[in-house]
A and B are shown apart, each in its own frame.
Chain A
Amino acid sequence: MRMKAGWSFKWLLYAAAGLICLYLLSPLLMIAVTSISTGSSSKFPPAGLSLEWYQKLSEQTQFLEAFRNSMIASSGATLLALFCGTLAALAIVQYPFPGRGLLRALFMSPMVVPKITLGIAYLILFSRMHIAGGLFALILGEAVIVFPFVLSIIGGALANLSPVHREAAADLGASPVRIFFTVTLPQLRLSLLLAGSISFVFTFDQVETALLILRQGSYTLPIQLFLYMEKWQDPTIAVVSVVLIAFALALFFVIKLVVRSAPGVATLLGERPKKKRLRRPM
Chain B
Amino acid sequence: MSAKSSRFIELLSSRNHSWVTQLLLLLPSLLLMGIVYLGGLLIFGRYSFDLYENGTLARAWSSHAYRAFLTDPYYWTLIGTTFRIALKVTCWSLLLGYPLAYCIAGLRSPGWRQTLLLITFLPLLVSAVVRSYGWLLLLSRQGFMNWLFIRLGFTDSGFEMMYNETGVVVALVHIFLPFMIFPLLNVLSQSDPYLKAAAHDLGAGKWRTFLTITLPLSARGIASGVQIVFTLCLTAFTTPQLIGGGRVMTLPVFIYQRTLDTNWPMAAVASLFLFAASIAVSLLVNRTAEWLMYRRTVAEGGSR
Contacts and interface: CB of A to CB of B under 8 A. Distances in A.
**A, B: real partners:** yes
A21 interface: yes
A91 B182 contact: no
A231 interface: no
A244 B237 CA distance: 21
Interface string B95-135: 01001101110100000000010111111011111111111
Given A24-B123, A27-B134, A280-B228, A176 B147 contact: no
A17 B100 contact: yes
A96 B8 CA distance: 10
A251 B259 CA distance: 36
A233 interface: yes
B3 interface: yes
Nearest to B106: A13
Contact of A222 (B44, B100, B129, B283): B129
Nearest to A45: B147
Nearest to B186: A273
Interface stretch (A54-62, A108-116, A186-194): A108-116
A5 B207 contact: yes
Contacts of B18: 95
A273 B182 contact: yes
B157 interface: no
A143 B32 contact: yes
A117 interface: yes
Per DSSP, are chain B's interface residues mostly helix, strand or loop, or mixed?
A: helix
Contacts of B120: 24
B29 A124 contact: no
Contacts of A10: 206
B282 A114 contact: no
A27 B126 CA distance: 11
B144 A17 contact: no
For B11, B102, B129, B264, the residue with the greatest tally of chain A CB atoms inside 10 Å of its CB is: B129
A265 interface: no
B7 interface: yes
A195 B206 CA distance: 41
A51 interface: no
A208 B253 CA distance: 10
B192 interface: no
Interface string A221-259: 110011001100100011001001100110110000000
A114 B252 contact: yes
A123 B138 CA distance: 34
Given A115-B237, A276-B182, A125 B259 contact: no
Interface of B: 1, 3, 6-7, 9-11, 13-14, 18-19, 21-22, 25-26, 28-29, 32-33, 36-41, 43-44, 47, 96, 99-100, 102-104, 106, 116, 118-123, 125-138, 140, 142-144, 146-147, 174, 177, 179, 182-183, 185-186, 205-207, 210, 224, 227-228, 231-232, 234-235, 237-238, 242, 252, 255-256, 259, 264, 267-268, 271-272, 274-275, 278-279, 282-283
7 contacts: A25-B122, A95-B21, A144-B33, A244-B130, A245-B122, A248-B125, A279-B232
Given A42-B137, A44-B146, 9 more contacts: A91-B21, A91-B26, A117-B235, A167-B6, A207-B128, A208-B238, A230-B242, A276-B183, A277-B183
